[in-house]
Structure 1
Amino acid sequence: MFRADATTVGVSDAHLMAEIVAARPVRQTERSVYKPAGGADIPHDSATRTIRALGQDVTAGIRKPPPPARGLAGAWPYAPTSYLRRWLFGSDPLPVSLLAKRGITRSDTLSRLVDRAVTAWPGSGTGSARPESDSADGTTALAGLIRGAENPLERKQAVAMYRRASATLCDGVAALAGNALWLLRAAPEPREELTAVLWETLRLLPPAWMLYRNGGDAYAGLHPEIRAEGNIALLPLLMHRHPEHWSDPLEFRPERWTGVADPEKTPGFMPFGFDGARCWAKHLVVPLAERLLTVALEHGLTIRSPRQDAPVPLRSLLAVRFEAAVGT
C-alpha cells in the first residue's frame, strides 16, 4: 500500500486487493468498454451480442492469411494495432472501419463526423443483420450489429461498442505481443513455446497493469490509508513480482508455465482483472497475440531501438515502445 497522490492510493498486496474487489461490484463507469453510451447503460444482452460477434470476427481473422508482414515495421505498439485492424476489420466499409482509427478517436469532432457517416451507411437500421449468420457483403459480425440495430438508441450504442471493442482488442493484443517481443530479446531460445512466453509476459509486463476504482464507503475501514472520498489503483504489475508468490520474480522464465493447465488459477496472478470485472475478451487475447507473434518471428522482425528503462504513465494500458524492422 502506498499513497500515489492526495486522492489516490496504490495497492499491490493480493489479499488486500481481494478484499477491495469483494467490497462492492464494479461500476459500469469503471469499465471502459461497457460505460454508458447514447445517454443510457449498455444492456446485458447487447454486451453479450458484442462479445459473441467479436469472437466470430477474431476466429475468422485467425483463419485468414495475415496481411503483408511489412505492416509490422515501424513504431510499436502503433504498427501492430493498425495491422490487426486491417487483418480483422478490413472487410468493413470505410465509414465503419474509421470508427476505431486512432486519429479519429482522439478527436471529438472527427468522431461525430464518422458517426454520422456510419448512420448513412446503406442498408443500416433495417434489423436485417445479426452476428449469428454470415453477412452477404463480407462485413464483420461486429459491423452487422450496427446494420441490424432496430432503433436509434440501439444504433448509437452499437456504434460505440464497435469503436470500443475493436480498439480495446487491437490495442491490448498489440501491447501484449510487443511486450513479449521486448522480453524475448534476452531469452536464450527466442522460438520457444509462444503460449508460455505470453503467459510469462502477462506476469512481468501485463498490458492491464493497473485497475482503477473510484472511492466510496464500501472501502473505508479496509486499510487506514483508504478514505471514503479517495480512489484506489490496484496494481497487478507489482503483485506479479511479489516473492511470496513467485520464485525469481524479476526473471523472465516462460518455462514456469509449462504444464500449467489453468494459469489464471495461479495465486497472486491476475492478468485479465478480477472476479466480476474480468476482461470480456480474455479468451481471444492470447490466441490472437500468439498468431501475431508467429507472423512477426517468421518474417524476422527485429527491435531497432530497445530501451532498458522508460517512464510508465498513469494510463490503463502498459505497452513497451520501440522501433521495429521486418526481414525479407
Structure 2
Amino acid sequence: MATATTRSRTVVFAPTIRDLLARDEKVFRIDPAKVGVSDSRLMAEIVAARPVLSTERSVYKPAAGAEIPHDSATRTIRALGQDAVAGSRKPPPPARGMAGAWPYAGTSYLRRWLFSGDPLPVSLLSKRGVTRSDTLSRLVDRAATRWPGSADQDGRTALAGLIRDADDPLDRRQAVAMYRRATATLCDGVAALTGNALWLMGPERDRPEQRADLTAILWETLRLLPPAWMLYRNGGAAYTALHPEIRPEDDVALFPLLMHRHPDYWSDPLEFRPERWDGVTDPEKAPAFMPFGFDGARCWAKHLIVPLAERLLTVALDSRLTVRGPQQEAQVPLRSLLSVRFEAQVGA
C-alpha cells in the first residue's frame, strides 16, 4: 500500500507514511504513548466517544491566551463561507499565477482570488513569506490588530470585517488569529486537493472523458490522497472500553489514508478510478470513507472544499497547466496536509 500507480504516474510517500502503509493491522501501537487506528468501525466509535477538544482543532484552538467563544467560531464559519462564495464568482486572476511549485502556487493563486480586496495589513496575515517567520508574523499581527479600517471600505472580506468590528483588544487579537487560520485552512486544503488531482489525472487530463466529471475526480482524489490524512485525539478514559490496545494514557491517531487504501473496504484500492463514484449521490456516506471526518467532528469548511477545488481545477485545465517536473514519480513529504510536490507551467 506504500505507493500507488495512477495510470502513468506514481506517488512516493515519506518513510514514516510508508511504514504506516506497510502495516497489516488496523489497530497498532505507534510508540509507547500512541495508538494508530484505521479500522472503519473503531474510528467511528472513537470520534463519537466524546466531543472534539478545542486543542484538537487547528482553527479553533485557543488564541491570545483564551478559548475561542462559540459565537466567534460561528461568525468565522459564516464569514469564510460568504467570502469564498463571493470571491469564486469574481473572474480568476491571470493564469500565470498558477505556474511554479505546487501546492504553494495554488495556495497563493487562491488567496489572490478570494482575499485580494483586503487592506494590506490584513492581507499580509496569510502570506507564506510572513507565516514562515515568527518575527514577521508578530509584526504583521500587531499591525492588523491596530488597523482601524472603515465601515464602507470596498472589496473588504467579511473575515476582515470581523477584525475591524471587534469590540476590545482580546476580541481583535483573536479575530486576527482566526483570519490567518481560516484562510490558511481553506486555501491550503483546496490547493493540496487540486494539486493532487492534477497529478493523479496525469497527461491524459485533456481528454474529454477525463474532464467529464471533475467532481468524481476530486472525490477519488480525496480517497487516494486525502490532504487531511490523519486525525489526532488526546488520550483519556473515553476510549479504553473501545479496544484492549488503547490505555487511558494513550493518544489516538486515526488514519483515513490507510482506511481509504485497504482492500477490505475498496476494490483495486491503489488504482485511481473516478468512475467508482458514478451514481453515488452522497459520497460522504460511502462505507470506510472519511475525507472530512465523521459526524460530530467534520471539517467546518467541508462544504467549501470540493466546490472551490473544482473551480480551481477547471481554471488550471482551461489554462493548460502542465507538470514541468518530475514527470513520472513525485514525492509526498511528511506534512500536516498530504500533497504531491511538482513544478508546473501554464500553456505548455
Deviations 1:120-166 (A, max 9, x none): 31337xxxx5xxxxx54221111010011111111111111000000
The one-letter amino acid paired with 2:164 is R
Would the aligned equivalents of 2:332 and 2:341 in 1 still touch at CA under 8 Å? Answer: no
Secondary structure in 1 matching 2:329: coil
Deviations 1:24-53 (A, max 9, x none): 211000001000112211111111111111
Q: Distance in 2 between matches of 1:79 and 1:89?
A: 15
The one-letter amino acid paired with 1:236 is P
Q: What is aligned with 2:336?
A: 316
User: Deviation at 1:304?
Assistant: 1.8
Q: Distance in 2 between matches of 1:52 and 1:19?
A: 29
Secondary structure in 2 matching 1:79: helix
Deviations 1:250-274 (A, max 9, x none): 1111111122111111111111012
Moved more, 1-10 or 83-92: 1-10
User: Deviation at 1:248?
Assistant: 1.7
| 1:198 partnered with 2:218 | yes
Q: Distance in 1 between matches of 2:30 and 2:103?
A: 27
RMSD between aligned residues: 1.7
> Structure 1-normalised TM-score?
0.92
Structure 1 unaligned segments of length 5 or more: list them: 130-134
Deviations 1:273-324 (A, max 9, x none): 12222111111111110010011101111112235363541x4210111111
Moved more, 142-151 or 3-12: 3-12
Q: Distance in 2 between matches of 1:123 and 1:312?
A: 40
**Which among 230, 233, 236 is matched to residue 213 of structure 1?**
233
Secondary structure in 1 matching 2:61: coil
Would the aligned equivalents of 1:203 and 1:237 in 2 still touch at CA under 8 Å? Answer: yes
Q: Distance in 2 between matches of 1:182 and 1:261?
A: 25
> Structure 2-normalised TM-score?
0.87
Q: What is aligned with 1:87?
A: 113
| 1:63 partnered with 2:89 | yes
Q: Distance in 1 between matches of 2:338 and 2:307?
A: 19
Structure 1 138/284 Cα, relative in aligned 2: closer, same or farther at 3 Å?
Answer: same
Would the aligned equivalents of 2:230 and 2:256 in 1 still touch at CA under 8 Å? Answer: yes
Would the aligned equivalents of 1:211 and 1:316 in 2 still touch at CA under 8 Å? Answer: no
Q: Distance in 2 between matches of 1:308 and 1:227?
A: 40
Q: What is aligned with 1:154?
A: 171
Q: Distance in 2 between matches of 1:54 and 1:123?
A: 19
Moved more, 136-145 or 285-294: 136-145
User: Deviation at 1:227?
Assistant: 2.2
Structure 1 264/28 Cα, relative in aligned 2: closer, same or farther at 3 Å?
Answer: same
Q: Distance in 1 between matches of 2:248 and 2:341?
A: 36
Q: What is aligned with 2:69?
A: 43
Secondary structure in 1 matching 2:30: strand
Secondary structure in 2 matching 1:218: helix
Structure 1 195/79 Cα, relative in aligned 2: closer, same or farther at 3 Å?
Answer: same
Moved more, 6-15 or 29-38: 6-15
Secondary structure in 2 matching 1:75: strand
Q: What is aligned with 1:257?
A: 277
| 1:175 partnered with 2:196 | no
Q: Distance in 1 between matches of 2:274 and 2:212?
A: 8
Structure 2 unaligned segments of length 5 or more: list them: 1-26
**Which among 155, 176, 180 is matched to residue 163 of structure 1?**
180
Specify which structure has the bigger relative contact order, considering alpha-carbon pairs within 8 angstroms and separated by 6 or more residues: 2
User: Deviation at 1:23?
Assistant: 1.9
The one-letter amino acid paired with 2:86 is A
Secondary structure in 1 matching 2:264: coil
Q: Distance in 1 between matches of 2:217 and 2:54?
A: 32
| 1:100 partnered with 2:126 | yes
1:220-235 to 2 correspondence within 5 Å? Answer: 220-235=240-255
Q: Distance in 1 between matches of 2:167 and 2:37?
A: 44
Secondary structure in 2 matching 1:304: strand
Q: Distance in 1 between matches of 2:251 and 2:336?
A: 15
User: Deviation at 1:186?
Assistant: 6.2
% identical equivalent positions: 78
Q: Distance in 1 between matches of 2:70 and 2:148?
A: 28
User: Deviation at 1:223?
Assistant: 2.3
| 1:296 partnered with 2:316 | yes
Q: What is aligned with 1:248?
A: 268
Secondary structure in 1 matching 2:114: helix
Q: What is aligned with 1:325?
A: 345
Q: What is aligned with 1:132?
A: none
Q: Distance in 2 between matches of 1:309 and 1:115?
A: 36
